[in-house]
């Protein structure tokens, strides 16, 4: 049975990948809750600007470091391990680095947590389900992953991280909790990260045709970032021996084409489309079963896609306007 955090202070929390899209929102939430937070990020895909508010808070410290070569990770009572490129363009650009952070980096986090007798939340992904033959996906499904395909650096990297986390849980009784995160969107997404929502918003604001791969019939479900980070914190702080892994995502499902049309309506344009071949191993459908999250965390997403999309479009409008403003 996994142990509870003892020696490390539960008010001091380490967040790896702290300058990323999800990591920075999590840092803000933890600071708002009164915690002291140490962020670790090599800034390969994360951005300092995401931590603008956090860096003005004396309870926050950022270590710029490659997690897989860091000599010592600070001791804490809680470790959120989010470090990894997460968008297809980023992880395929650096496949070896992606594999390193999800293998060596995960090992370093787990070792630090073991020495501190701390609790760990590993941020995994719906990508462990690959191009699923079971729909929707629950946590008992083992997945359909191509281990040598172009996406394997991320898919198999996360599968390895899960296996390593479970080995520590069984061998040492370490309280390891695995969150399988489905598509998440919101402010601070990178404009060039290659994900569906940000791609369509950027193309729409530029007046470009929306790129559809295949006919756009593949499905996705989108969880707003504030809902997701609430789920992460609830999972970390849930009392007792919660089951793991747990899916975190929004089960409401859209085709990619429907998503483009909703983005166009929010921007106020008439959509046009440019069709491209489907990328290799791109999943045809993706939607989570979240019964475990409801039962054990009391969590389900609350922000409707239309509302979250409005906030996300406004964020990209603001970023675009600031770049055009004279210095």
Q: How far apart are CA 257 and CA 250, in angstroms?
A: 18
185 near 225, Cβ under 8 Å? yes
Residues 6+ apart with CB under 8 A from 132: 141, 143, 144, 283, 285, 286
Cα separation of the two ends of the chain: 58
CA dist 228 to 155, 168, 191, 235, Å? 20, 25, 20, 11
Look at residue 323 in the predicted model and tell me its pLDDT: 74
What is the separation of C-alpha 11 from the centre of its chain, rounded to a whole number of angstroms? 23
Look at residue 68 in the predicted model and tell me its pLDDT: 85
State pTM to two decimals: 0.94
Strands 78-81 and 184-185, by their bridges, are: unpaired
Question: Beta partners for 63?
Answer: 40
The closest alpha carbon to 202, from 191, 211, 212, 193, belongs to 191
9 near 26, Cβ under 8 Å? no
Pick the CATH number of 12-186+224-250+288-302 from 3.40.50.720, 3.30.70.20, 3.50.50.60, 3.40.190.10: 3.40.50.720
Q: What are the extents of the domains in the chain?
A: 12-186+224-250+288-302
Residues catalogued as catalytic: 154
Residues 6+ apart with CB under 8 A from 288: 126, 136, 137, 138, 180, 182, 221, 247, 248, 249, 250, 251
Category of 78 on φ-ψ map: left (φ > 0), alpha (ψ -120 to 50) or beta: beta
Question: Beta partners for 178?
Answer: 122
Residues 6+ apart with CB under 8 A from 94: 44, 85
Residue-level pLDDT, tens digit, the chain, 327 residues: 554 444 445 589 999 999 999 999 999 999 999 999 999 999 999 999 999 999 999 999 999 999 988 888 999 999 999 999 888 888 889 999 999 999 999 999 999 999 999 999 999 999 999 999 999 999 999 999 999 999 999 999 999 999 999 999 999 999 999 999 999 999 999 988 888 999 999 999 999 999 999 889 999 999 999 999 999 999 999 998 899 999 999 999 999 999 999 999 999 999 999 999 988 878 889 999 999 999 999 999 999 999 999 999 999 999 988 776 444
Dihedral Cα 15, 16, 22, 28, nearest 10 deg: 30
């Amino acid at each position: 049975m996994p142990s509870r955090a003892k020696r490390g202070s539960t008010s001091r929390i380490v967040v790896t990948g702290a300058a990323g899209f999800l990591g920075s929102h999590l840092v803000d939430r933890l600071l708002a809750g009164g915690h002291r937070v140490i962020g670790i990020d090599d800034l390969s895909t994360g951005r300092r600007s995401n931590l603008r508010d956090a860096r003005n808070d004396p309870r926050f410290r950022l270590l710029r470091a490659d997690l897989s070569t860091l000599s010592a990770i600070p001791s804490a009572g809680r470790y959120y391990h989010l470090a990894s490129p997460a968008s297809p363009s980023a992880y395929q650009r650096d496949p070896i680095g992606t594999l390193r952070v999800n293998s060596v980096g995960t090992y370093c986090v787990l070792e630090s947590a073991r020495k501190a007798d701390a609790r760990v939340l590993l941020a995994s992904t719906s990508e462990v389900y690959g191009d699923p033959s079971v729909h929707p996906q629950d946590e008992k499904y083992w997945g359909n992953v191509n281990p040598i395909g172009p996406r394997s650096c991320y898919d198999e990297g996360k599968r390895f991280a899960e296996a390593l986390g479970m080995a520590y849980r069984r061998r040492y009784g370490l309280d390891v909790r695995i969150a399988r995160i489905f598509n998440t969107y919101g402010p601070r997404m990178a404009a060039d990260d290659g994900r569906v929502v940000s791609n369509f918003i950027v193309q729409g604001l530029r007046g470009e045709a929306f790129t559809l791969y295949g006919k756009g019939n593949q499905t996705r479900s989108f969880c707003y970032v504030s809902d997701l980070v609430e789920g992460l914190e609830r999972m970390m702080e849930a009392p007792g021996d919660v089951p793991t892994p747990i899916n975190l995502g929004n089960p409401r499902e859209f085709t990619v084409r429907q998503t483009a049309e909703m983005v166009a309506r929010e921007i106020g344009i008439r959509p046009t489309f440019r069709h491209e071949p489907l990328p290799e191993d791109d999943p045809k459908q993706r939607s989570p079963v979240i019964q475990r999250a409801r039962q054990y965390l009391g969590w389900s997403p609350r922000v409707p896609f239309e509302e979250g999309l409005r906030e996300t479009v406004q964020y990209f409008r603001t970023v675009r306007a600031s770049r055009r403003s004279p210095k």
